[in-house]
Amino acid sequence: MGAAERYVLGELTEEDRTRYEEHFFDCAQCAENVRSAAVFVASAKNVLGEDIKERVDMRASDRTRPGWLALFWPAPAGAVAALFLLVGVAGYQSVFVVPDLRRELARAEAPQAAPRYFLPESRSGPRVVEVSSATRIVGLTLSKSSARTFPYYRCEVRALGGRMVSSAVVPGPGPRRELEILLPVSGMEPGQYELHLAGLESASSAVASDLVRYPFTLQIAEE
């Protein structure tokens, strides 16, 4: 065991790599091992990136749902979080009666490109989230650090020093999946932040559990 894995992981020296290629071109079993490994790796790259792409695809998959419900179903946690983080605590009614907020919502609903980043929890250094000055939203995938899953999560973005920048209660992503957040960054200053994630048994629960911190540094490059 190991040669095919070492080969696709790029762990062989150039000389060993050439020798191994000369071997597997002649050995059907090893050729099959390498082929399986290469297909797996190529497919895995595609599959592992799919979840990220789904979060930036603003097209609603269920068009039969009425108007505003389409923002929340299928339950892309990021769309719900984006709504809350975008309008703060303004409330659902103000979104639909205030024309300028309606226009902002239309912009948010329109397809848009969003860079995506994977945030590990705080055991490693802060991840750099680099955006251009024209970027309005970034996608953040939060690594799942706890075996427990919750039906809801409180998601808070805090600046260095603890000042809360935004907060939202979002539906959980379900078992075995990471939480995907769409974070509007157009109003944020560059600097260090922490995303605090805590589990809730219900959307209105005041008691949160299993607090996890995801530090990141926001860098904004001028276009």
Partner 1 sequence: MLALPARRVALELQGFDAAYLERLRSGHPETEQHFVTYFGRLILIKLRCRLRSWPQIEDVRQETFLRVLRKVRSPGGIRDPTRLGAFVVSVCNNVLLEQWHTQDRYRPTADEPDARAGTTGPDPEANLITEETKAMVRRVIGELKDRDRDLLRAVFLEERDKDEVCAEFGVDRGYLRVLLHRAINRFRELYLERQGPTVRAASIGGGRRASRRSAES
Return residues touching partner 1 (CB under 8 A). Answer: 1-6, 8-14, 17-18, 20-50, 118, 120, 123-124, 143-144, 176, 178
CB closer to partner 1, 46 vs 94: 46
State the minimum distance, in angstroms, from the CB of residue 40 to partner 1.
5
- Three-state SS string over 5-74 comes to HHHHCCCCCHHHHHHHHHHHCCCHHHHHHHHHHHHHHHHHHHHHHHHHHHHHCCCCCCCCCCHHHHHCCC
State the minimum distance, in angstroms, from the CB of residue 73 to partner 1.
22
CB closer to partner 1, 151 vs 174: 174
CB closer to partner 1, 8 vs 155: 8
CB closer to partner 1, 29 vs 204: 29
CB atoms near residue 150 (< 10 Å): 20
**Do residues 103 and 96 touch, judged by C-beta distance below 8 A?**
no
CB closer to partner 1, 104 vs 178: 178
Cα distances from 48 to residues 40, 43, 129, in angstroms, run: 12, 8, 19
State the minimum distance, in angstroms, from the CB of residue 211 to partner 1.
18
State the minimum distance, in angstroms, from the CB of residue 24 to partner 1.
7
Beta strand 137-142 pairing with 116-119 = parallel
Burial 118-147 (b: 16+ CB within 10 A, else e): ebbbeeeebeebebeeebbbbbbbbebeee
State the minimum distance, in angstroms, from the CB of residue 50 to partner 1.
8
State the minimum distance, in angstroms, from the CB of residue 35 to partner 1.
6
CB closer to partner 1, 89 vs 113: 113
C-alpha span between 156 and 214 (Å, rounded): 10
